[in-house]
Structure 1
Amino acid sequence: MLLKLKTRSRIYVAASLFLASFSAKAELSSYNLNGVDLVYSSVSNVTWTKDGNLLGSMIANRGFQTVVGEIIAASPTIKNIPNGYGSYSNFDDDIARSVYIVTEQDFSEVDGSSSWWGAMAFANYLNSIRYGGSHHWQLPTLATNSSASGLGSNDQVSGDEFVELFYHELNAELYSNIPNTLMFDNEVTGVYWSGTEEIDPEEPFSIYKAHAFLTSYGFQISTFKNYANHAWVVTPGQISAVPEPKSLAMLLAGLVLLGISMGWNKQSQRA
């Protein structure tokens, strides 16, 4: 009886270590939910859309007027800190300058880029249709420390989704382009918006700006909100753990070991 218990314990431990070693090595993992391709980041604990230019792909597939019309209908206005693009007739009115009206001019039909407000509205639109089963889509946030607030590199700032993806998971180097991998589609070598607005009392133009990430150098930058940049959104955690074939095979292997152990347990009880 003691020998059987030791054998079962070893199997449990082996199965647990096997599955744990697989989980520990995973950083980016692809999964599909209801026909939507997604990528989970275990480093940042967020899910990215597999398509790095999802807005551009939607416009190409369904038409500019249709997609942009749906985005504006779902998110006609964007609330932000009082900004210089608000009501010029009431420039001293913080309430008026904190609400921006989204229009077609905030989107580009050519490449799927948008203003900062257009990018924010796009995230809201994905929430309205529960894209991939989530209603928590948002633009990634960026750290605004001294090394990130200008044109300098922020290297590897903890808790920063774009930086963690660029440096930690895609293993890109400073001053290099974002790697073109099979994990993602349509990665843009250029500028991606973040959801982080610039707040700098000593910088008079900060009321016009938001932070962004430059994937051709690995920099955080601050740029004017009415510029045309791209949107790549994230949602917290993993929406649904749907493993790929290799992952599923590993999981099943562990479960088989556990099943064998349970079978032995029943046989020992009968004995």
Structure 2
Amino acid sequence: MINSKRIAITGLLLVGLAITNSSQASLIAETVQGISVVYDDVTNVTWTADANLLGAMEANAIAQYGNDNGLIQAIINANNGVVYDVLGMYDTGEVFINNNAVGVYNLHSYDFFPGGAVSWYGAEAFIGYLNSINYANSSAWALPLWNDGTHSQGQFGELFYNELNGISGFNIPSNSFFNNINPPQHGAYWASEDVYGTAYRFGLGTGNQQPDIKITPYFGVWAVSSGNIAAVPIQSTFYLFGSVFLYWVFVRNRNAMLINFIPKHKSQI
């Protein structure tokens, strides 16, 4: 007969292990619909495991069709041909959204360069495309947040300095979580924040973030989605398994107590 105390202890150990793993984890590799992603439980965002996803998509399109024209046009079409931003010198018009004037930029093929390099507008357009196709079962993709100019803060800074232990002035450390992590062209990725005519970028070769002209088509786009987009997080599986064990022990012991209280038949006395 299985010892119920041992089962209970096993269940508690499983739950304890899940709690310990959760408290110690920073980056968690996951798979959603066959797509590799990485969850950061500090900033509570999910990164694409492919750090140059657009470049990979372009390469696939070229291998299949001989060019990436169809992909670029699909990205432009997914955004109805425009990107809305802080009104600036490169916009061709303005509209009012929630009583606020925003700029309207008309997308062009030259917002996209070979190898995944894009202007800031191209980066925003690619994000819109990922949301339109519900990439990895998420429609909440965005450019990473930049934070008040402090290099080690913001989503890029947290990833570079804290999760991957990067050092200012040096390339981002090699790791097993991400692939294609070297950004195209000038070694930086666009961030979400933009001001008049400029937007911020984060250099993975230096660990620094600074503004640049938004039409500069030399930087990469790396998408993040809010929260953990994995359908069944690893920790939840441990919690569920441990809870089932504990519930089974409870039911088993309760039934045993009820049996002991049932009066025995005279033939059994």
The 5 A counterparts of 1:68-217 are 68-75=72-79, 76-87=81-92, 95=95, 98-108=103-113, 110-144=114-148, 148=149, 154-157=150-153, 160-189=154-183, 190-198=187-195, 207-217=196-206
The 5 A counterparts of 1:27-38 are 27-38=26-37
How high is the TM-score relative to the length of structure 1? 0.79
Map Cα deviations across residues 40-99 of structure 1 (whole Å, 9 max, x no partner): 110110000010000000000023112101101101100111111124xxxxx7559810
What is the CA–CA distance in structure 2 between the aligned matches of 1:18 and 1:120, rounded to whole Å? 40
Bigger strand share: 2
Whether the 8 Å CA contact 1:163–1:218 is kept in 2: the answer is: yes
SS at match of 1:196: strand
Whether the 8 Å CA contact 2:8–2:246 is kept in 1: the answer is: no
User: 1:54 aligns to what?
Assistant: 53
Whether the 8 Å CA contact 2:144–2:155 is kept in 1: the answer is: yes
How high is the TM-score relative to the length of structure 2? 0.80
Q: How many residues align?
A: 241
User: 1:224 aligns to what?
Assistant: 213
SS at match of 1:120: helix
Whether the 8 Å CA contact 1:33–1:242 is kept in 2: the answer is: no
What is the CA–CA distance in structure 1 between the aligned matches of 2:254 and 2:179, rounded to whole Å? 49
User: 2:256 aligns to what?
Assistant: 268
What is the CA–CA distance in structure 2 between the aligned matches of 1:171 and 1:259, rounded to whole Å? 42
Whether the 8 Å CA contact 1:115–1:226 is kept in 2: the answer is: yes
Map Cα deviations across residues 107-130 of structure 1 (whole Å, 9 max, x no partner): 01x211100000000000000000
Q: CA 1:40–1:97 in structure 2 vs 1: closer, same or farther (change >3 Å)?
A: closer
RMSD: 2.8
Q: Structure 1: where are the runs of 5+ without partners?
A: 88-92, 149-153, 199-206
Whether the 8 Å CA contact 2:15–2:239 is kept in 1: the answer is: no
User: 1:202 aligns to what?
Assistant: none
**2:131 partner letter:** N
Whether the 8 Å CA contact 2:198–2:211 is kept in 1: the answer is: yes
Map Cα deviations across residues 122-167 of structure 1 (whole Å, 9 max, x no partner): 00000000000111111011012xxx2xxxxx2432xx11111111
What is the CA–CA distance in structure 2 between the aligned matches of 1:12 and 1:265, rounded to whole Å? 15
Whether the 8 Å CA contact 2:202–2:209 is kept in 1: the answer is: yes
What is the CA–CA distance in structure 2 between the aligned matches of 1:99 and 1:141, rounded to whole Å? 21
User: 2:246 aligns to what?
Assistant: 258
Tell which deviates more after alignment, 261-270 or 210-219. 261-270
Q: How far did residue 178 of structure 1 move?
A: 1.1
Give the % identical residues: 33
What is the CA–CA distance in structure 2 between the aligned matches of 1:14 and 1:267, rounded to whole Å? 24
Bigger radius of gyration, 1 or 2?
2
Map Cα deviations across residues 243-270 of structure 1 (whole Å, 9 max, x no partner): 57xx799668745753663464345334
Whether the 8 Å CA contact 2:38–2:46 is kept in 1: the answer is: yes
